[in-house]
Amino acid sequence: MKRIAGVVLAVGLVAASAAAEEAVPVAVAPARAERIVETVEGTGTLEAFETADLVPRVAGVTVTEVTVDEGDRVRKGQVLVRLDDELVRTQIEGVKARIDALDAKARALDARIGLLETDAERFRTLFERGVSPRQQLDHVEAELKVARAERAALEAERAALAKSLEELELRLSYHVVSAPWDGTVTARRVDPGDTVGGRPVLTVARLQKLKLKAQVAETDVPRIRAGQPARVAVDALGDRWFEAKVARVLPRLDPVTHTGDVEIVLPARGTPLRPGMFARARIEVGSHQGVTVPRDALRKIPGSGVWFVYVVTPEGKAERRDVEPGLALGERVEVRSGLQPGEDVVVRGEGVVRTGAPVRVTQRLEE
């Protein structure tokens, strides 16, 4: 009986050992060599690339017409607001009438001067021949001198009126407010019947491009340069990213928040992007070659700063490797030490994986 019991015990130990060494099914993915993009992140609010607050050059006059509303697209030179210009037009008509009267008087004087010049020449010839007395020649020449003086005075008066007319026509042009460029009306502040007085009546913005004044940590500011590529996303559109570029780095740092401002410009034509949207930016400040693994392959010893992965050896066993995590790259993470490109790491297993335990690869990911 003792021998039989010993045989049974031995068989039981062998069975238990075999069960303990049963291979654990695992899914693996290769460590991958790739270009790692180094980014700096910042947040801010989208703004129009350029805006103009349109203020009429005249004050105290009434708005007669507003041709646009908020959201309307406008073309450069398009009339947007008309102001009451009746007084200026009346003044212009008055000046034009005076100029016309002067021109008529000038034409009459020119005709008289022509006749007097003819008479003066004729009496001069007669006087030289001794046929006509000197008094007649002197009388005609005196009249000619007076006529020429009157003509010169008329010319001076006309020049003054022409200058006044030019100034009035310039003032008349101030009674319309036009678009300074192609853009979109982003604010309307007047209606017909309102009186203008030195304040903006409309705001027109260029929305073909937008700018983002992103706040970044002061420690990251020295790495940022104008011209660096960037990507921008807005919370309202989910995880959709738009290509952009750094326009400039503002020199001042905020002593309270310890951040600096970076101006980023991005095309907006044909996109749902709008001024006022809260945005996140990722600025590409450099790159290097590195090794990455899926985020799910990384494990951490609780209560410590030790990170590790399980590598599947050529013998089909799990081997723990301590690693140094680097940059987070979405669903992948850079590993700065402990791995070589091409090594298979365990992403998930259907049982407990431990160093030296046999594993069976049931799924290969990202190949």
Which DSSP string corresponds to 102-152? HHHHHHHHHHHHHHHHHHHHHHHHHHHTTSS-HHHHHHHHHHHHHHHHHHH
Would you say residue 173 has pLDDT above 60? yes
Residue 73 pLDDT > 70, yes or no?
yes
Residue 35's SS3 state is: strand
Same domain, 267 and 228: yes
Same domain, 231 and 212: yes
Using a cut of 0.75, tell me whether the model's pTM lies above it.
no
Question: Within a domain: residue 3?
Answer: no
Handedness of CA 292, 296, 297, 303 (dihedral sign): positive
Say how far apart CA 324 and CA 337 lie, in whole Å.
Answer: 5
Task: Please indicate, yes or no, whether residues 181 and 76 belong to a single structural domain of this protein.
Answer: yes
295-306 pLDDT, tens per residue?
A: 999 999 998 889
Q: Is the same domain home to 316 and 249?
A: no
Label residue 367 by pLDDT band (50, 70, 90): low
Q: Is 213 within 8 Å of 263 (Cβ atoms)?
A: yes
Q: Report the helix count and the strand count for the chain, using DSSP H and E.
A: 3, 19
What is residue 28's predicted lDDT score, i.e. its pLDDT? 95
Domain boundary among 285, 311, 343: 285
Angstrom CA distances, 15 to 19, 122, 216, stand at 6, 151, 62
Give the pLDDT mean for 17-28: 75
Same domain for 182 and 67: yes
User: What angle in degrees, to the nearest 10, is found between the helix axes of 86-128 and 134-173?
Assistant: 160
Q: Return the pLDDT at 221.
A: 96
Same structural domain for residues 281 and 295? no
Please say if the pLDDT value at position 329 is more than 60: yes
Question: What is the number of structural domains in the chain?
Answer: 4
φ and ψ at 246, to 5 degrees? -70, 125
Residue 295 main-chain phi, psi, to 5 deg: -55, -35
Model confidence at 24: pLDDT above 90:
yes
**Arithmetic mean of pLDDT, 228-252:** 94
- Each residue's pLDDT tens digit, 274-290: 999 999 999 999 999 99
271 and 246 fall within a common domain? yes
Q: 215 with 94, same domain?
A: no
CATH code for the domain in which residue 195 is found? 2.40.50.100
Task: State both tokens at 322.
Answer: 């301590």
Q: Which amino acid is at 8?
A: V
Give a yes or no: residue 19 inside a domain: no
DSSP 8-class letter at 255? T
Buried b / exposed e over 9-28, threshold 16 CB at 10 Å, is: eeeeeeeeeeeeeeebebbb
Q: Which residues 6+ apart lie within 8 Å of 282 measured at CB?
A: 39, 40, 41, 230, 231, 232, 241
Q: In terms of domains, do 357 and 331 share one?
A: yes
Band the pLDDT of 20: cuts 50, 70, 90: low
Whether 50 shows a pLDDT value over 80: the answer reads: yes
| Least confident span in 207-216, 284-293, 347-356 | 347-356
Q: Return the pLDDT at 132.
A: 85
Structural domain including 257 reads 41-47+205-285
State whether the Cα torsion 28-31-32-36 is positive or negative: positive
**Within this chain, do residues 61 and 195 fall inside the same structural domain, yes or no?**
yes
pLDDT in tens, 85-95: 999 999 999 99
Q: Do 78 and 181 share a structural domain?
A: yes
Minimum mean pLDDT range among 129-138, 168-177, 190-199: 129-138
Distance separating alpha carbons of residues 9 and 11, to the nearest angstrom: 5
| Residues 22, 350 contacting (CB under 8 angstroms) | no
